Amino acid sequence: MKQLKALILAAATVVAAQATALTESEAEKIRERIKPVGEVCVGADCGGAAVVAGGEPRSGEEVYQSACTACHGMGVLGAPKTGDTAAWDERLAKGMDTTWQNAINGINAMPPKGNCMDCSDDEILAAIKYMSGRE
């Protein structure tokens, strides 16, 4: 009886292994179905902006045009509009350093560096000065 059970178990194992074994074409079809739909590539290797160490920093206006204008041009989610002296005076009442640190670290709806991750801290400061008219 033990031999019969062992024989049945062995046969069942072989059948199960054959049933689950995939042919290479079946495996390729599965890989094709589950492959990622796209890839993300960031930086100079992908044709994006390169950050050059020791290069010339961008002006406040350049940073504003490339990263800040979407929100600060129209005052999105309470962002102080460029040139709105009263709105900027309110923020700068806490001091330029505090306003600068808030821009670097993010505050309220503004993400860190306004999502300008290739901006240096000095370029962020230049953008604040440009937007607030404190150049």
Q: What is the CATH number of the domain that holds 80?
A: 1.10.760.10
Distance CA 12, CA 17 (A): 8
Q: pLDDT digits over 102-133, tens only? A: 989 988 888 899 888 889 989 999 999 999 98
Percent share of the chain, pLDDT over 70: 84
Q: Is residue 82 part of a domain?
A: yes
Distance CA 41, CA 5 (A): 57
Note whether 72 and 82 are within 8 A (CB): yes
DSSP letter (8 states) at residue 60:
H
Weakly modelled stretches of the chain, pLDDT under 70 = 15-22, 42-55
Structural domain total, the chain = 1
Q: Is residue 106 part of a domain?
A: yes
Nearest to 127 by CA among 78, 80, 90: 80
This model's pTM is above 0.85: no
Q: Is residue 27 part of a domain?
A: no
Domain, as residue range, for 96:
59-132
DSSP letter (8 states) at residue 43:
S
